[in-house]
Structure 1
Amino acid sequence: MADSWRNWAGNQRAGGLTVVCPPDAGGIADAVRAAAAAGRRVTALGSGHSFSGIGRPEDVALRLDRHAGLVDVDDAGLATVRAGTPLHRLNAELAARGWALTNLGDIDRQTVAGALSTGTHGTGARFGGLATQLRALELVTADGEVLRCSPGEHPDVFSAARVGLGALGVLSTVTLQAVPAFALRADEGPARLPDLLERFDEVMTATDHVEFYWFPHTDRCLLKRNTRVPLDELAPLSRARALWDDEVLANAGLAAVVAAGRRVPALVPPLARFSARALGARTWTDAAHRVFVSRRRVRFREMEYAVPRAAAPAVLAELRRVVDAGPHRVAFPVEVRVAAADDVPLSTASGRDTAYVAVHVPARTEPGAYFRAFEAIAGAAGGRPHWGKEHGLDAAALAGRYPRFGEFTALRARLDPAGVFANAHLDRVLGPVGAGVGQA
C-alpha cells in the first residue's frame, strides 16, 4: 500500500503515511482507537477532489474503498449508503432501483463522505446542498465509539456533522432522502453578462436549476437551465453530438486554450473571445444525474465563495472590472450557481439564500493575485469560502462569517479533545482543538 497521497489537482501532497483500509464500521473504530492510543492523527481519505488542505493526511490515512456500496433503499426513499461510496456509483445504484438524489453538483467523482463533509452543492434556488438531503448518519468518534445520529438521536451532533469537515469523526454510514427517479430537460445557449446581471434574480429563479459560465475578457456567457420532467420524456443527445460538444469543444478546446496561454499569456483574451463565440444552443432531456454532471478532463485549481444572493451581481461586476483592468489572463470560465438557505451550522448557505461564484486556474499554476483579488471582492460582500476549495481565511475571520461557528467548535472540542482528527488546515480554519475561537 502506497504511503504517499496527492489530490486530483496535484496542489496538495503528503508522504510517510500509514495507510489502513478498514472493511466496515468496526474496522474504522479499531483503527481510530489504535491511532488515538498512540497519540497519532487520523484522516479519512475521499477521492481527493478538494483543492484546500482539508483532506490532507498527516499520519494515519483511512482508505474507505472497501467500505462502499448502497445498503438499502426503503419504500419512502431513505437510502442508506456506506460513506466510501463514490457519488457516480451511488447515482447508478439508485437509478437501477428507480430513485435519484434530488440535487447534485457537476462532479460525481467524490465519495459520499467527502462530498458531505465539505459542503458539496449543485444549483437551484429552491434546493439545498447534499447535506440537506441527509436524514441520519453513523459517526466513529475519537474514542472509537460508533455514534448513530439523527434529528431524534444525538441531534446536536447530527446537526453539525451534516457538514463536519472531517473534524468531528469519521462518517461510516449515512442515510439520504432520495426521490423517485426523474429527468431534466436541459436548455443551454449563449447569453450576455450585462443582461444576466441586470435580471439576475429573475434568471436564476426562472426554472428548477440554473447556472451560467462567464468567459473573462468578454461579456459572453453560457447559460444552462435544467427543468425537472418525468422520465418518460427522455430525448438524450446523440452520441456524436455529445462527443463533439462535451469532449471536443468543452474539454479539448479548453485544454488547447490553457496550453496556448501557458506558452503565450497574451493569447488568452483573444482565445477566450473565440471560444465564447463558438458556443451554440442545444436542448435535450436525460436522466437527472446525467444532466447534472459534467466531465472535467482538464485539471484545475479552484476558489469558490458563497455570497448573499442579492450581492452576486455586484460581486461579478467588480470581478469583471478587476479582470479587465489588471494583468490577469484568465483561461477558465467563471461559474455562477445559486442555492436555498439551510440550517446546517457550517454550510456555506447557512441562514441565507446564496449565490456561488467560482474561479479557476490551470493545475500546476499559482493562482496568486487573481485568487487574492477575487477573495477580497467576495469578502467585502460577507462571502464564505467553500470548505473544499482554496482560500486564505483563518478561524478568527470565519467565526465572523458564521453565526453558529462557536457551536461547532465547542462540539469539536467535546468529541475530539485530543485533536485526533485534526490536521494543519483544520487547525487554521477552526483553530486548534480547545482554543475557544468563536465559542460562546
Structure 2
Amino acid sequence: MGSTASTRNGTWRNWGGTVLAHPAREVAPASVDELAAAVRRAAEDGLPVKAVGTGHSFTSIAATDGVQIRPHLLAGIRDVDREAGTVTVGAGTPLKRLNTALAREGLSLTNMGDIMEQTVSGATSTGTHGTGRDSASLAAQIRGLELVTADGSVLTCSAEGTEEERAVFAAARIGLGALGVVSAITFAVEPVFLLTAREEPMPLDRVLAEFDELHAENEHFEFYWFPHTGNTNTKRNNRSAGPERPVHPVRGWIDDEFLSNGVFQAANWVGRAVPATVPALARVSSRALSARTYTDIPYKVFTSPRRVRFVEMEYAVPREALVDTLRELKAMVDRSRLRVSFPVEVRTAPADDIPLSTASGRDTAYIAVHMFRGTPYQGYFTAAERIFTAHEGRPHWGKINTRDASYFSRVYPRFAEFTALRDRLDPERLFRNDYLRRVLGT
C-alpha cells in the first residue's frame, strides 16, 4: 500500500480516501521563481491555487478545482547553520528525508509526530504535532519561512523582521494554505540525542488516576486506549545518556510490522465484515503487544510505520479537561451500539503563541479517534465531536471535523488577527477552496 495520495485520470485522491479533487492543471515548480510565476499565471487566469503534499490530511484543506501546486521538486536541505542551530529545507521535503539527512549531519528536531510521510510544509501548515511536556508541534520549531503571496511576491519572514513580516511569521507557521504557498522553512535543530522509550500495557483507570504524574515525570508521554476494554498501551520517551540500544530487528518486525500492521489489519477486516466480533478483537489487540524498552535517536523512537488505512478525528482540549473528556468518551462508547476497532490516541503539548495552533495560549491534551477505512464512522465521530466541543475543543486542521468560522472565532482568541492578515495578503482569495470558506469564512 502506498504511503501518499494518488492522482489518476486527472482526479486527485487523498491518502485516507475521504477527498477527491479535479484540478484544472497541475504544476510542479523546481524553483521559487517558477512557483511565483505559477501563482501569477493562476491569478491572471482567474483560477484558485492550492499546494498539496502527500495527502495525509483527511479534510479537503488541499483540494482544488484550480491550480494544484506539487512541491516535490522544492525539496532537500538548502542550508545548515550550526552556529544558529537552524536548518533550511525546501517545502516539499518529506519528513522522512529531513530526519535522515539531519541524522547524517549529527542533528535532530526536538520533537515530531508519529509518522514521517508528510511534506514539511503540509505537516506544519495543518499543525502536525507529537507529544511533549515541554515541546510538541513542528510549527513551534519554525524559525523562518519563505512563501509566495497572492501577487506573486516572494516573502521571507521571521520573528526578527519588520512589523508586517513578524505578523506573517506568527500566523503562517500554521497558515492552512490561506496566506500563500510556502516554498521553504527554517527549523530550529539541536545536536542529535538519544531517547529511551518505555512501552507497557496499563489499565485505563490507573492511567487516568495518575495522568498528571505521568505527564509531569516524562518528557514525552502518550497512551492508546482500546474501546470496549479497560486496557491501554502507554509510551514514555525520555532523553538518555545511552548507550544506544535499538529494538532488535526481529522483535521490531514482529511488533511494528507483523502485529501492529499485519495482524491488526486482518483484525480490522474481520471487524468490518462482522461488527459483533469487534469487542473480542479489541481485547485481543490490547494485549498483543508486551512491554519493551529501547534507546535510539529521536526519529526512530518518535515515529513508526502506519500501513493500516483509517479515517481520523482529533480534538485538542485544555489539558486539565483531559480526564473528564476521556471518561465521557468511554461512557458514550460503552452505552452505545458502536463497534470501534481502532484505539484512541492521547497526547499532550505545552501552550504556544501561534494564532491558529490547537495549543495556542493553553496547555493542551489531544484525543484522536479513528475508524478503519471503509467502516462507517459518522455516528462515532459525531458523538465524539459533541463531547469534545463541550470542552471547548479545537479540531486538528487536517482531520475530520464539522466546525465553522463562527465556532473557531469563539475558541481561538486570535482568530480575528489571522483573518485580518488574510484580508491583507489575499484580498481576492486566490488561495480559496470550500474548506477554507467554511473554517475561515468568506
TM-score band by shorter chain is over 0.9
**DSSP-derived class of the 2:168 partner:** helix
Give the equivalent residue in structure 2 for 1:134: 142
* 2: CA distance, partners of 1:164 / 1:290: 28
The Cα of 1:201 is off from its aligned counterpart by 1.2
Give the equivalent residue in structure 2 for 1:156: 167
Q: Would you identify which runs of 4 or more consecutive aligned residues in structure 1 move more than 3 Å?
A: none
Farther off after superposition, 1-10 or 364-373: 1-10
Matched AA of 2:66: D
Give the equivalent residue in structure 1 for 2:390: 380
1:50 corresponds to which of 34, 57, 67? 57
The TM-score normalised by the length of structure 2 is 0.96
Give the equivalent residue in structure 2 for 1:369: 379
Give the equivalent residue in structure 2 for 1:438: none
Structure 2: tracts of 5 or more residues without a match: 1-6
2:245 corresponds to which of 201, 218, 235? 235
The Cα of 1:16 is off from its aligned counterpart by 4.5
Matched AA of 1:398: F
* 2: CA distance, partners of 1:365 / 1:62: 31
The TM-score normalised by the length of structure 1 is 0.96
Matched AA of 2:54: S
Matches within 5 A, 1:80-99: 80-99=88-107
* 1: CA distance, partners of 2:426 / 2:374: 35
The Cα of 1:364 is off from its aligned counterpart by 2.4
Matches within 5 A, 1:225-374: 225-230=236-241, 232-374=242-384
* 2: CA distance, partners of 1:139 / 1:406: 21
The Cα of 1:4 is off from its aligned counterpart by 2.1
Farther off after superposition, 116-125 or 14-23: 14-23
Q: Is the 8 A contact 1:220 1:276 kept in 2?
A: yes
Q: Is the 8 A contact 1:4 1:17 kept in 2?
A: no
* 2: CA distance, partners of 1:72 / 1:397: 40
Matches within 5 A, 1:388-403: 388-403=398-413
Give the equivalent residue in structure 1 for 2:435: 425
* 1: CA distance, partners of 2:79 / 2:157: 18
Give the equivalent residue in structure 1 for 2:76: 69
Give the equivalent residue in structure 1 for 2:29: 22
The Cα of 1:132 is off from its aligned counterpart by 1.0
Q: Is the 8 A contact 1:395 1:430 kept in 2?
A: yes
Structure 1: tracts of 5 or more residues without a match: 433-440
Q: Is the 8 A contact 2:112 2:136 kept in 1?
A: no
Matched AA of 2:47: R
Give the equivalent residue in structure 2 for 1:200: 211
* 2: CA distance, partners of 1:55 / 1:179: 31
1:413 corresponds to which of 397, 402, 423? 423
Matched AA of 1:183: L
* 2: CA distance, partners of 1:357 / 1:128: 14
* 1: CA distance, partners of 2:237 / 2:375: 33
**DSSP-derived class of the 1:302 partner:** strand
Q: Is the 8 A contact 1:128 1:342 kept in 2?
A: no
The Cα of 1:39 is off from its aligned counterpart by 1.0
The Cα of 1:291 is off from its aligned counterpart by 0.7
* 2: CA distance, partners of 1:426 / 1:217: 36
* 1: CA distance, partners of 2:284 / 2:110: 36
Q: Is the 8 A contact 2:342 2:371 kept in 1?
A: yes
**DSSP-derived class of the 1:205 partner:** helix
Identity level (%): 53
Matched AA of 2:279: P
Q: Deviations over 1:339-377 (max 9, x none)?
A: 010000000000000000000011123311100111010
* 2: CA distance, partners of 1:274 / 1:155: 52
The Cα of 1:57 is off from its aligned counterpart by 2.2
1:121 matched to 2:92? The reply is no
Farther off after superposition, 11-20 or 349-358: 11-20
* 2: CA distance, partners of 1:144 / 1:362: 41
* 1: CA distance, partners of 2:24 / 2:132: 40
2:14 corresponds to which of 7, 10, 14? 7
Q: Deviations over 1:107-156 (max 9, x none)?
A: 10010000110001000111131111111111100000001101122100
Matched AA of 1:58: D
* 2: CA distance, partners of 1:299 / 1:180: 34
Matched AA of 1:39: G
* 1: CA distance, partners of 2:166 / 2:401: 30
Give the equivalent residue in structure 2 for 1:436: none
2:154 corresponds to which of 146, 150, 153? 146
* 1: CA distance, partners of 2:302 / 2:244: 15
Q: Deviations over 1:184-203 (max 9, x none)?
A: 10100100111111121111
Give the equivalent residue in structure 2 for 1:437: none
* 2: CA distance, partners of 1:42 / 1:365: 32
| Count of residue pairs brought into register by the alignment | 431
Q: Is the 8 A contact 2:255 2:289 kept in 1?
A: no
Q: Is the 8 A contact 2:272 2:375 kept in 1?
A: no
Give the equivalent residue in structure 2 for 1:39: 46
Q: Is the 8 A contact 1:304 1:385 kept in 2?
A: yes
Q: Is the 8 A contact 2:23 2:68 kept in 1?
A: no
* 2: CA distance, partners of 1:363 / 1:41: 30
